[in-house]
Amino acid sequence: MNASIQSWMERAAAIGGVLACGARLADRSFVAGSSREDYPEAQVLQALRDLSEVAYALQQNRIAAEHLRWTFENGQIRCLTQPGGVMAALLVSREIADSPEIEQLFADFALAVS
């Protein structure tokens, strides 16, 4: 994992309300981190793989899917997809799902992988 992605994940983990984060990189590898015991890293990695497959299926069916969002009772999964199968995902509490900090994290990720 390159330093810019590592830095992005550290910044994400430092924001209160970010429960877990991860990315699919250009080399098709996955990285994940979690700040909560109830979201173990292995579970977050599997979720990233599944989300990556969903994004790919949407793109294959000509459905534009740069931003994806799933809302749950206690939070949201937010994803940003980029060309080449690169993807960032954040599991966040509902209170911060639409916050400027989250939007900035996605903007920073897009710059880091461009």
Q: CB 22: neighbour CB atoms within 10 A?
A: 26
pLDDT for 60 equals 87
In the chain, the percentage of residues whose pLDDT exceeds 70 is 99
pLDDT for 69 equals 94
Per-residue burial over 40-71, b = 16 or more CB atoms within 10 Å of its CB, e = otherwise: eeeebbebbeebbeebeeeeeeeeeeeebeee
pLDDT for 1 equals 60
Q: Which tens digits make up the pLDDT trace of 70-102? A: 998 889 999 999 988 899 999 999 999 999 999
pLDDT for 74 equals 83
- CA–CA gap between residue 78 and residue 67 (Å, rounded): 7
From residue 13, alpha-carbon distances to 40, 84, 90 in Å are 14, 25, 10
- CA–CA gap between residue 43 and residue 6 (Å, rounded): 19
Q: Which tens digits make up the pLDDT trace of 6-32? A: 899 999 999 999 999 999 998 999 999
Q: Which tens digits make up the pLDDT trace of 23-61? A: 999 899 999 999 888 889 999 999 999 999 999 899 889
